[in-house]
Structure 1
Amino acid sequence: MSVAKGGTAALRETLQAKLDYEQLTNCMRCGFCLPACPTFKETGVEAESPRGRISLMKAAVDGLMEPNVMFEEQMNHCLGCRACEPACPADVKYGQLIEQAREAVELHTTQHRWWVKGVRKAVFKQLFPHQHRMRLLGAAMNVYKKSGVQTLIRKTNAVGMFSSQLASMERILPDASGKGIVEIMGTRVAAKGEKHGTVGMFRGCLMDVMFTETNRKTVELLSEAGFDVVIPEAQNCCGALHAHSGEKEQAKELAKHNIRAFQEAGVDFIVSNAGGCGAILVEYDHLLHEEPEWHDQAIWFAKRVKDISTILAEKGRPLQYAALPQDQGTARVTYQDSCHLRNVMKGGQAPRQLLQQAAGGAYVEMKDAGSCCGSAGIYNMTQPEMSNQILEHKMENVNAAGVRYVVTSNPGCHLQMKLGIEKHGCSGQMEALHIADFLYDRLVR
């Protein structure tokens, strides 16, 4: 694709309007972000670093360079993992800058390939915002898997003829469902034992149909910890993929809908079990900061958002977990961080605390566990070469740890680690699990 609509001059004007110039000038060019950035570590190219991309943004705004195709490619090559933010001594809000730049680029991009246009429209406008359509997708995926069509597709390599990356992802698809968590458990699940509070469960869109069992186990864990769990039926997609892909206005509308749904539910906390969702939910106040009429509601929402690990580690009744079975006594467990849970929600310690409780001495800290796995929303589909390169280095660390279980806190990370395990031929010896699944399966009731 290329920047075309109105030309580079028009794009510069939009960048000038969208980008927070104060944040651009806050960057001291110190380079502390360089070793934290996955794309810079892979390439060693300055433009592939946060510092380099900020320099490109500022140069484009200041009229020192044309915001051309190369500019657009660098904005899109960023994973958005935001590992640079904790490393930055000036507290530059890089995540906000990259989203502002992508929004500007998207407004001026008219030459998406035809299939990209179709996919973007289907995903961002026709599918993710509508929960009932997501359930239809889940039902269709279930039929695809059980009807024999999947077997035929794999035998003929029909998907591989279009994209080898898509074929690889197809092989690790989870069991989807046409029923979401509300259809299975209702909109309220009572606390077991003494009540410690009321939480709202953010069910997500992909989580609700592709990881329905993980959502169910999340609700069960919360109930066991002493929480009444409310699952507002009116909630919708969090808007993360929209915001990361330049569809910011639609992300705002989705945010407003969710704020209304959870305010009406009257909850103490809003619990997410997907790091990518949680990171935008906790920043709804920034997403809507230009709309003063939403100021108080957005702050109310954002300050209540917690990851499932944080809630279980810090609130409610402590849970007891059984030791790993004797025949797996030598099996070890490690944790792959969700970038957004670690870097945005500052929730890197709680999952480790829970895993140490549940796995005991079997827990092992993997080298560079906090570095990105290469999933990054839909990055592994839009930038497969870089994604696979990052995944390959991640699998080197996983294999070196010698573990039986790789535990994650985000559906994208979960699928990416499954992909790595599949590519390395380790499916029989290693398993990727969401932390809610791992904890629930070892829960002592």
Structure 2
Amino acid sequence: MTGMEQSHGALAQRMKLTLDEEQLTNCMRCGFCQMACPTFLETGLEAASPRGRIALMKAVVDGIMEPDESFQSQMDLCLGCRACEPACPSDVKYGQLIEQTREAIVKEKKFSVPVKLVRKTFLQGIFPHKGRLKFMGKSLKFYQKSGLQKFARSSGAMKMFPEHLRQLEKVVPTVTGDGLTDLWKKAGFPLRTEKTSSGSDLLIIPAVGEKVSRVGMFRGCIMDVMFAETNVNTVRLLRQAGFEVAIPDSQVCCGALHAHASEMEDARDLAGQNLIAFKEAGVDYIVSNAGGCGALLKEYDHLMKDAADAGQQADARQFAGQLKDISELLQDIGRPLIPLEDKSDETAPVKVTYQDSCHLRNVMRVQGQPRELIHQMQGVSLCELQGSEVCCGSAGIYNMTQPQMSMDLLDHKMDHVKDTRAEVVITSNPGCLLQMKWGIERAGVQDHVEAVHLVDFLTERVRLYDKDQDD
């Protein structure tokens, strides 16, 4: 038996032990998932559809086929957008199956030394550590402000990188180097600090007016490095809607990037730390402003279902039940936001469109609330985007690992954006936001179209009171 055959045999055996057999057999092969699947729509291949991939998984588990390179390529081609799940009449948990398959593949795969180094550096060395994330933010700020960025572009140094990475570098936002708590303190906004039962800091930001409830702010890792001002605006909106906001200092990365990379044990370790941090905070709700993070946070109960500690399993179920997207809290639970009056009678309304975050729509099942909030703003006209439910091609790290498919999806998305004639593309996830900025750049429409996060769009258009004396 060759080394490759041994490797395939080991992977097949691991898949037999890992995959949920009930979910594998639940698929009725009806095909409803196909028209919801971006990779099937792009390729027209049965193997590139959810039911096709499930058939491949089952064939491996049943010993009918080997999990060879073509099998693994099809698993890698899946975006993990999970648009197939709402479309499935049998409620097949496809997301769990692809997650289990990829985890088995990663455990048996022999990565090259450079790939191992990159994975270890970012997944274990940076993202789980708040101090290192902050250093990364400061370093990115220095790169952007010191002239290094301008030199890298003008000298041709960027040509050492693949084309898709060069394009992505162009749309990385200007960072402050500070996170949410640093920016909040520098602004002089009201806050107080408490100690949790374990001795860690808990930042408490009071509601404006009468308190509706207490919400724990999940600040994220990428969000707090590259989109810290969006985090600040999230807290400002929550306060205005009547929420007292608690920010546990001991919270860590949600683990979504680790899950995307099939490093599930690392994701579970991070989840365990977050369960403790937010339990100690004593909150009624936990808020996310990033669809990708929110989806994993919402499924902490599934992620931790095999935890040895029954108490941890119970904490995970409670956490998942408390998790809400920012749009859910603002639209369904908090006091209504007060839109600023539109005094420009002679100016046509700003035309906007909304691109759904896949995980927000398909996992958290949130799609109406963002649109309702946009409709409430004065001087704004929302034009629905054809195919807004189809993935933009960001999908965590997908635009790095599958650049061609990612760009094909993005280019088609931008064709639909042009059809709306929108001036603003709104979305609710940092990965989607970067991807849409990238699409705007690729389409050459950056002079009259911009992409913004829903939170930042709302912040510019509602009445906010930030200082104690204004409350």
TM bracket (short chain): over 0.9
Q: Counterpart of 1:363?
A: 382
1:19 shift after superposition: 0.6
Partner of 1:375: 394
Task: Name the CA distance, whole Å, in 1 between partners of 2:97 and 2:446.
Answer: 39
Q: Report Cα offsets for 1:173-200 as digits up to 9, x if no partner.
A: 0122332112222622110011101000
In structure 2, what is the equivalent of residue 266 of structure 1? 282
- Give yes or no for the alignment of 1:429 onto 2:448: yes
Question: For 1:319, what is the secondary structure of its paired residue?
Answer: coil
Aligned residue for 2:64, secondary structure, equals coil
Which structure has the larger Rg over C-alpha atoms?
A: 2
1:413–1:234: structure 2 CA closer, same or farther, 3 Å change rule? Answer: same
| CA shift digits 1:80-112 (9 cap, x unpaired) | 0000000000000000111100000000111x3
Instruction: Choose from 283, 287, 301 the match for 1:285.
Output: 301
What letter is aligned with 1:12?
Answer: A
RMSD: 1.5
Equivalent of 1:229 in 245, 248, 263: 245
Q: 3-state SS of the aligned residue for 1:320?
A: coil
What corresponds to 1:163 in structure 2?
162
Structure 1 position 324, deviation (Å): 5.8
Verify the 8 A CA contact 2:210 2:242 in the aligned structure 1. yes
Report SS of the residue matched to 1:270.
strand
For 1:174, the equivalent position in structure 2 comes to 173
SS of 1:177's equivalent? coil
Measured after TM superposition, the shift of residue 325 of structure 1 is 6.9
**Taking every aligned residue pair, what percent have the same amino acid on both sides?**
53
The question of 1:71 aligning with 2:90 is answered no
Q: What residue in structure 2 maps to residue 36 of structure 1?
A: 36
Deviation at 1:6, TM superposition (A): 5.0
Alignment of structure 1 residues 394-409 onto 2, 5 Å = 394-409=413-428
TM-score, structure 2 as length reference? 0.92
Deviating 4+ runs (over 6 angstroms): none
Q: 1:303–1:324: structure 2 CA closer, same or farther, 3 Å change rule?
A: same
SS in 2 for 1:333: strand
> Are the equivalent residues in 2 in contact too, given 1:240–1:276 (CA < 8 A)?
yes
Aligned residue number for residue 434 of structure 2: 415
Q: CA–CA distance in 2 between the matches of 1:104 and 1:41?
A: 27
Instruction: Structure 2 unaligned segments of length 5 or more: list them.
Output: 186-202, 465-471
Alpha carbons of structure 1 residues 163 and 324: separation in structure 2 relative to 1, 3 Å? farther
Q: Hey, what does 2:328 align to over in structure 1?
A: 310
- Alpha-carbon separation, structure 2, partners of 1:359 and 1:22: 50
1:5–1:108 contact (8 Å) kept in structure 2? no
Residues 52 and 323 from structure 1, CA distance in 2 versus in 1: closer, same or farther, beyond 3 angstroms? farther
Structure 1 residues without counterparts, runs of 5 or longer: none
Q: 1:279 to 1:328 in 2, by over 3 A?
A: farther
Give the match's secondary structure for 1:427: coil
Change over 3 Å in CA distance of 1:179–1:33 after alignment to 2: same
Q: Deviations over 1:109-159 (max 9, x none)?
A: 11x343322211111110111111111101000000011110111112322
| Partner residue, 2:468 | none
Shift of 1:31: 0.5
SS in 2 for 1:246: coil
- C-alpha displacement at 1:247, in angstroms? 0.3
Structure 1 residues 105 and 328: alpha-carbon distance in aligned structure 2, compared to 1, 3 A threshold: farther
Equivalent residues in 2 for 1:92-241, closer than 5 Å: 92-110=92-110, 112-185=111-184, 187-241=203-257
Taking the aligned partners of 2:445 and 2:343, their CA distance within structure 1 comes to 21
Q: Secondary structure at the match of 2:91?
A: coil
Task: Say whether the 8 Å CA contact 2:220–2:252 is kept in structure 1.
Answer: yes
Give the Cα separation in 1 of the matches to 2:206 and 2:56: 53
Q: Report the Cα distance in structure 2 between the residues aligned to 1:66 and 1:205, rounded to whole angstroms.
A: 38
CA distance in 1, matches of 2:150, 2:281: 44
Q: Tell me the SS of whatever aligns to 2:359.
A: helix
AA in 2 matched with 1:85: E
TM-score computed with the length of structure 1 as normaliser? 0.97
Tell me which moved more, 323-332 or 140-149: 323-332
Whether contact under 8 Å (1:4, 1:108) holds in the other structure is: no
The alpha-carbon deviation at position 330 of structure 1 amounts to 4.1
Does structure 2 conserve the Cα–Cα contact (< 8 Å) formed by 1:282 and 1:345?
Answer: yes
Distance 1:308 1:199 in 2: 10
CA shift in 2, pair 1:402/1:63, >3 Å:
same
Q: Following the alignment from structure 1 to structure 2, what is the Cα–Cα distance between the partners of residues 34 and 147?
A: 49
Q: CA deviation at 1:71?
A: 1.2
1:400 to 1:435, Cα distance in 2 relative to 1, 3 A = same
Separation in 1, partners of 2:209, 2:235: 15
Matched, 1:47 2:39: no
Contact 2:411–2:443 (Cα < 8 Å) also in 1: no
SS in 2 for 1:32: coil
Question: Which residue of structure 1 lines up, in the alignment, with residue 198 of structure 2?
Answer: none
* Count of residue pairs brought into register by the alignment: 442
| Distance in 2 of aligned mates of 1:210 and 1:116 | 24
